[in-house]
Amino acid sequence: MIYLDNAASSHPKPPGVARAVADALALGANPGRSGHGPALEAARVILDARSAVAELLGCGDPARIVFTANGTHALNLALKGVVGPGDHVVSTVMEHNSVLRPLASLERAGVAITLVGADPDGRVDPAGVAAALRPETRLVALCHASNVSGTLQDAAAVGRVCRDRGVLLLLDAAQTAGVVPIDVEALGVDLLAAPGHKGLLGPQGTGVLYVGPRARIRPLLEGGTGVRSEQRTMPDELPEALEAGTLNTPGIAGLGAGVRYLLDRGVDAVRAAERELLAHALPRLLEVPGLVLYGPRGADGRVAVLSFNLAGRDGAHVGFALDEAYGIAVRVGLHCAPDAHKALGSFPAGSVRASLGPFSTVADADALVRALRELSSL
């Protein structure tokens, strides 16, 4: 199987990930709840993972990294924890449903929402974001790179706009954390949500939310934290304020190992390898007869999420044939981002999405191009 569905969940993981999960399962204990040896060891594993994620994101204080169950959980926590009735939120048409649906529910609760448009390659103009701000705008939510077209947004420019206007910036880094270098402080990001199971190379069931010093955030869940147990309210201090209930220690241990791998290899090196692979694959893909590519046609300004259609072919059939006849795993459809497909011109049919990962090879890309050439000639 040639796995080209890394935008959904990365595969394979670095070998240390499964080992870290197994070791944490063998340890068994609950971090932060008891004082015995295994519980302290579990707490050390969690702290190590927190510190690794903080280092990867350029955040000086590991306590500002909150563990969540996935990217969706982190985004809901950020949106619903910060925004309330009477506030205005600016977001974009390039968002995933894990932003669009919480925003729709906030709108029903009295929050005003503006979605800024994108150009036909999926790029959002930071000046368009600036123009959409109002005095009551509390937050801008921006998808760093589209999970449909791979289009990278100019997060630094949007960060400057938000800083200048005193508005919080929430970055959905689902397709960029671990893939492109990120420094939350340099980018002016106040909140950053990322799944643990994509570019961060951890197991499913993990995610993170970075909470910057300017963000005041209410918990989505309340319950046991192992600290300030005498209080009827959640503790104020991070990360416990936002981590009610027992943590997913095995998952977080695996996430820590995935991020340690990235720190050792260097996200710069991961990105350089991805750009090289894109520079090889993109011109070859574009030569496939009848292939329509969505998003930027060059390696700049995009990540390795490649969405396309073959003229006159149903995407579902193309995806099925790639799997059945060529052993290539891709994802077809709307990718939980209907408005992005509208902006890119691929709604309502959607597209075929092949997403490369840090272990993808030139041979994988060539196999995809060969298969698409054959399918286009049938």
Ligand X SMILES: Cc1ncc(COP(=O)(O)O)c(C=O)c1O
| Contact between 271 and ligand X per CB under 6 A | no
Q: Catalytic: 336? A: yes
Nearest-10 Cα torsion for 156, 159, 160, 162: 160
CA of residue 132 relative to chain centroid, distance: 24
Q: Which stretch binds ligand X (CB under 6 A): 65-73, 306-314, 316-324, 356-364?
A: 65-73
* Residues in a beta bridge with 329: 3
| Contact between 339 and ligand X per CB under 6 A | no
CB 188 within 8 A of CB 156: yes
| Contact between 174 and ligand X per CB under 6 A | yes
Residues 6+ apart with CB under 8 A from 119: 125, 343
In the complex, what is the shortest distance from the CB of residue 287 to ligand X, in angstroms, rounded to a whole number?
Answer: 28
Q: What residues between 32 and 51 interact with ligand X by CB under 6 A?
A: none
47: nearest Cα among 240, 242, 267, 326: 240
Q: What is the 3-state secondary structure (H, E, C) of 149-196?
A: CCEECCHHHHHHHHHHHCCEEEEECCCCCCCCCCCHHHHCCCEEEEEC
- The contact pattern for ligand X, residues 274-303, with x = CB under 6 A and - = no contact, is ------------------------------
The catalytically annotated residue of 59, 143, 162, 336 is 336
Among 6, 10, 91, 98, binds ligand X (CB under 6 A): 98
Beta carbon nearer to ligand X, 235 or 294: 294
Among 92, 114, 147, 249, binds ligand X (CB under 6 A): 147
| Contact between 207 and ligand X per CB under 6 A | yes
CA of residue 28 relative to chain centroid, distance: 29
In the complex, what is the shortest distance from the CB of residue 151 to ligand X, in angstroms, rounded to a whole number?
Answer: 11
| Contact between 259 and ligand X per CB under 6 A | no
Question: What percent of the chain is helix, strand and coil (3-state, nearest 5)?
Answer: 40, 15, 40
List active site positions: 336
List of residues contacting ligand X (CB under 6 A):
70-72, 96, 98, 143, 147, 172, 174-175, 195, 207
